[in-house]
Amino acid sequence: MKLYKLSITSIIVILISVTSCNEDRLEVEPVNRYLSSNFFQTEEQVYEALVAAYDPIGWTMAFGQWIAEVMYGEIRSDNAHAGGDPSDNDQPGWQELDDFRETTNNTVLQPIYRKYYIGIFRSNLVIYSPEITSPVIERYQAEAKFLRAYYHFQLFKHFGPVPVITSILSPDDVSLQRNTMSEVFDAIVSDLEDAIDILPGTLSSNEIGRASRGAAQALLGKAYLYWADLDNDDGSKFDMAAQYLGDVVSSGQYSLVDDYNELFAFGSKNTSESVFEIQKSNLWPSDWGWFEGIEGNGIIQLCGIRGLCSDHPFYKDGWGFMLPTQSLYDSYLADDLYRRDATIISEAELAQTLLDSGITSCNVVVDVTQSNPQDYTGYWQQKYSNFKSYDGNNINGGDPNLTKDANVHAIRYADVLLMLAEALHRGSGTDAEAMTYMDEVRERAAGPGDNTGNFNTAQDIMTQQSWSLLDLIWYERRAELSMEGHRWFDLVRSGRAGSNLFAGDPIREGNYSDTRLWIPISLEETSVAKGLTDYPDPSLFD
């Protein structure tokens, strides 16, 4: 594009010619249907803004990068490696995060940061801009407060204490600095308390995926759990976590799905276990031209089995990211193979499915030469399986790799039960009550059907393994929630993250330091907002 310089004389001539035009010719209708001066005046307009506020929550890609929390929470931990192609240069930003060698120039950092702050900005518009009031508008604003709390919480989990934004910023408001941990959580708590008072307890069939009272209570309980853990095991905050998580349980709105496998089966969505579920769709023709407009779940293809024989009866090959570690595979107890096999699949198991199906055309089940040799373990995740059933899923066009519509479990009921058990145990609750919630999860883990009297209870496992109740809670969270993005955040909040997790993995063990508990804010952000630091100062946690 050519740039032309205008002299002062030229500018004056242009201004004179403009001001001498017929006045009527300057009074034209605006090109856009709405301007900032005439929006937010109807319930429909506020609803459209609310939809925009929800939108970033579903981005698995943005600004040219994969940014899915599911993958971050696993590959940063001892549960998984980044994977990818043999070069170790496939998605370099994620390879750096996997190996604890990211710098402020890492390509993934700013997209993560921008994603959530875009969500906060849009939420603030819904909260502060409407020019009318009604019960409907109040509900929309309560949903926006839930979203603002969710986005702030996600930012904290990645970056530590971050700037809290509770007003509509202008383009000139760039002098941001980190708030303290208490200020971040105070803002989250305030938003969720307000939301709980207004949000409905149940959602109609056309409201699925929106925030409910139970979702806000669960998120608030989770926020208190994190805050308590990071605030020197504050018992009163554990009690607050137990209160709100207990409200979710006592509501009777949720229950565990009988068969653990069904949670991740093709087409399974919004089950009785769904407290807050990120919705995916194949109705929009997603392609590589608009990353933020992808409505499918990119994790399906990204984390599918790389090099898989095309004649496999159930799965298509994928791009081989988020590879489970041997450590995770070996961590499951002998009575817990049902959950393990729903989470991880091995090369041997893939070969067995071929034999069982009578397929003899696959000379090589998985071509391992296509995979990253540094990260290859012989295992693949299968909670986000690349099912062949997705073929033809791009019903309105678009790239078939991007229109696979499996939802993402942001908060499910089993997570609530385990968090409640932990909050009771670490607060002033009773261990007996905590173990009843643990046993609900353990009974389901034994397989479908009624396993009453036929599974190892929390007390049985504690006795067999010589574990404390807290040991068992940590085990259950790993076994139940692996490959769903929780592991690293659980390790960080509980003070269990450390180089010892990566014994036998010289790269991660050698690169790890306590600074790496959080990822840095990108150079693009700190170069503009001069008050931002790369990493949070320890004083912010006091």
Q: Look at residues 56, 110, 66 and name the one whose alpha carbon lies nearest to residue 525.
A: 110
- Quick one: DSSP state of residue 180? P
CA distance 237 to 186: 12
* 3-class SS of residue 541: helix
- pLDDT of res. 415: 98
The structure tokens 């393994």 sit at 465
CA distance 48 to 126: 9
Residues 6 or more apart in contact with residue 520 via CB below 8 angstroms: 102, 103, 104, 106, 109, 159, 534, 535
Distances (CA, A) of 410 to 5, 247, 480, 503: 53, 18, 14, 30
Using the CB atoms, write b or e for 375-413: b if 16+ within 10 Å. bbbebbbbbbbbbeebeebbeeebbbbbbbbbbbbbbbb
Q: pLDDT tens for the chain, 542 residues: list them.
A: 333 233 323 323 333 333 344 444 445 555 556 666 689 999 999 999 999 999 999 999 999 999 988 999 999 999 999 999 998 789 999 999 999 999 999 999 999 999 999 999 999 999 999 999 999 999 999 999 999 999 999 999 999 999 999 999 888 787 899 999 999 999 999 999 999 999 999 999 999 999 999 999 999 999 999 999 999 999 999 999 999 999 999 999 999 999 999 999 999 999 999 999 999 999 999 999 999 999 999 999 999 999 999 999 999 999 999 999 999 999 999 999 999 999 999 999 999 999 999 999 999 999 999 999 999 999 999 999 999 999 988 888 889 999 999 999 999 999 999 999 999 999 999 999 999 999 999 999 999 999 999 999 999 999 999 999 999 999 999 999 999 999 999 999 999 999 999 999 999 999 999 999 999 999 999 999 989 999 999 999 98
CA distance 482 to 178: 31
Residues 6 or more apart in contact with residue 364 via CB below 8 angstroms: 309
Q: Look at residues 327, 356, 349, 324 and name the one whose alpha carbon lies nearest to residue 483.
A: 324
Contact 133, 43 (CB under 8 A): no
- pLDDT of res. 26: 47
- Quick one: DSSP state of residue 429? S
- pLDDT of res. 9: 30
- pLDDT of res. 23: 47
CA dihedral sign, ordered 481, 486, 488, 489? negative
CA dihedral sign, ordered 393, 395, 401, 404? negative
Q: Look at residues 187, 200, 181 and name the one whose alpha carbon lies nearest to residue 149.
A: 187
Q: Look at residues 471, 468, 521 and name the one whose alpha carbon lies nearest to residue 496.
A: 471
The structure tokens 């993005």 sit at 485
* 3-class SS of residue 435: helix
CATH class of 40-67+108-198+512-542: mainly alpha
Residues 6 or more apart in contact with residue 300 via CB below 8 angstroms: 318, 384, 385, 386, 390, 404, 406
Give 473's strand partners. none
Element spanning 98, H or E: helix 92-98
Q: Look at residues 529, 534, 540 and name the one whose alpha carbon lies nearest to residue 173.
A: 529
Q: Look at residues 53, 176, 72, 171 and name the one whose alpha carbon lies nearest to residue 115.
A: 53
Element spanning 340, H or E: helix 337-343
Q: Where are the domains of the chain?
A: 40-67+108-198+512-542
- Tokens at 77, concatenated: 């931990």
Strands 80-83 and 321-324: antiparallel
CA distance 192 to 220: 6
Q: What are phi and psi of 60, to 5 degrees?
A: -95, -10
Residue 18's CB is within 10 A of a number of other CB atoms, namely 9
Q: Which amino acid is at 315?
A: Y
pTM: 0.93
> Largest Cα–Cα distance of the chain, in whole Å?
92
* 3-class SS of residue 305: strand
Ramachandran region, residue 449 (left: φ > 0; alpha: ψ -120 to 50; beta: rest): left
Residues 6 or more apart in contact with residue 212 via CB below 8 angstroms: 199, 200, 201, 202, 203, 253, 276
CA distance 79 to 487: 7
Element spanning 81, H or E: strand 80-83
